[in-house]
């Protein structure tokens, strides 16, 4: 990777030996390893043993999970917030696991539509809840700093599975609860 970064610097007209760039290939390599760590993470290891039995079947929501990802088309960042909700049927995740699952998939080259769906489907597969809803609101640098250059644009995607897809009331409850400002 470091050799590729050096070649890239030369290709854009820079001198990789100049003072400010001498360590850039190593820093870029380390940064990309971190930003794409989702490829080396295992879902089962991330979840670990943090699935717990519960009697409740009320909606569980974690909102405003920060996400940072890279667009697979231009390899530029997109970032925003992820909201996750589900209705358990006897099992729940430890609360941090929802954020860790979002990170696992976000830390890969992505499109937002697939990222949203992957998070929802893994929750559905691992917990078998009554339903799952995932909404991501993100800003894409590929839209902001190149191409159409629309700085105020954002993209919203949703994945609604099970009762969140089938029941308007469930879906509306989820949408209303994620739109409220926290009172804590």
Give catalytic status of residue 17 as yes or no.
no
Q: Which of 74, 137, 165, 173 is catalytic?
A: 74
Is 73 considered catalytic here?
yes
Tokens of 86: 């589900």
CA–CA dist 81, 23 (Å, integer): 33
- Exactly one of 30, 72, 113, 166 is catalytic; name it: 72
Query: DSSP state, 18?
Result: S
> What is the pairing mode between strands 51-53 and 155-162?
unpaired
Q: Which of 82, 110, 118, 140 is catalytic?
A: 140
Among 82, 83, 110, 112, the active-site one is 112
Nearest Cα to Cα of residue 89 among 122, 131, 117, 43:
131
Structure tokens at 95: 């609360």
| 82 classed as catalytic | no
Measured CA to CA, the distance from residue 94 to residue 4 in angstroms comes to: 40
Distances (CA, A) of 83 to 26, 31, 72: 35, 26, 22
Which of 2, 137, 142, 165 is catalytic? The answer is: 142
Establish whether 142 is a catalytic residue: yes
Which residues belong to the active site?
71-74, 112, 140, 142
């Amino acid at each position: 990777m470091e050799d590729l970064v050096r070649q890239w610097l030369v290709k854009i007209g820079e001198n990789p030996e100049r003072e400010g760039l001498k360590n850039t290939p190593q820093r870029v390599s380390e940064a990309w390893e971190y930003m794409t760590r989702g490829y080396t993470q295992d879902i089962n290891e991330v979840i670990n043993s943090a699935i717990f039995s519960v009697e409740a079947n009320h909606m569980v929501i974690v909102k405003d999970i920060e996400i940072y990802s890279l667009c697979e088309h231009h390899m530029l960042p997109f970032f925003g917030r992820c909201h996750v909700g589900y209705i358990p049927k006897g099992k729940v995740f430890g609360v941090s696991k929802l954020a860790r699952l979002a990170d696992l998939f976000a830390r890969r080259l992505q499109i937002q539509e697939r990222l949203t769906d992957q998070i929802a489907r893994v929750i559905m597969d691992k917990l078998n809840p009554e339903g799952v809803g995932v909404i991501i609101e993100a800003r894409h640098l590929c839209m902001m700093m190149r191409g159409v250059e629309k700085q105020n644009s954002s993209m919203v995607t949703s994945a609604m599975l099970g009762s969140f897809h089938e029941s308007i009331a469930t879906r509306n409850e989820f949408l209303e609860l994620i739109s409220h400002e926290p009172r804590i």
